[in-house]
Amino acid sequence: MRTPGKDTRRDAMRAIDPQLVQALAGLNIEANMAVVQRTRRAVMVAANEMRAAQQRSRRQIGLVLLAVGTLAMMLTPAIWILAEDMFGEEHFQDAPTMTLTLVVMVFSTIFAVLVATWQARESRGREEL
């Protein structure tokens, strides 16, 4: 009469792949090399993705710095004249002061929209990874 435990063990021994046992025991060098090659490829792909992400990050930081510098260069004369008018004899409701205030507000709004657009692109780029 057969016992159920022995039959199950025999079936399990037949189901075990001998190549898998040799690879796990370190006896099958070719299987080990295949695992090493797969791991090396996965690490290289991850390293390339990280390098590309760093380059994108540097490029975006450069563009933001360029935009801030350009904005500061364009608005500095307007802010200077506005401050001079405010601390001088003129009033806020004068035409030149109102015009310069409007120019400063328009450029600041354009800059804020650009920054928001860049952040949206960056977040979409991170989601795709």
What is the per-residue pLDDT across 71-113, written as a single tens digit (0 to 9) for each?
788 878 877 877 777 777 766 677 777 777 788 888 888 888 8
For 85, other C-beta atoms within 10 Å of its C-beta total 18
Chain-wide mean pLDDT for the chain? 77
Check the CA dihedral 51-57-61-62 and report its sign. Answer: positive
Q: What predicted TM-score, i.e. pTM, was given to this entire model?
A: 0.46
**Residue 55 vs residues 48, 51, 106, 118, 124: alpha-carbon distances, Å:** 11, 6, 32, 15, 16
pLDDT at 129 over 70: no
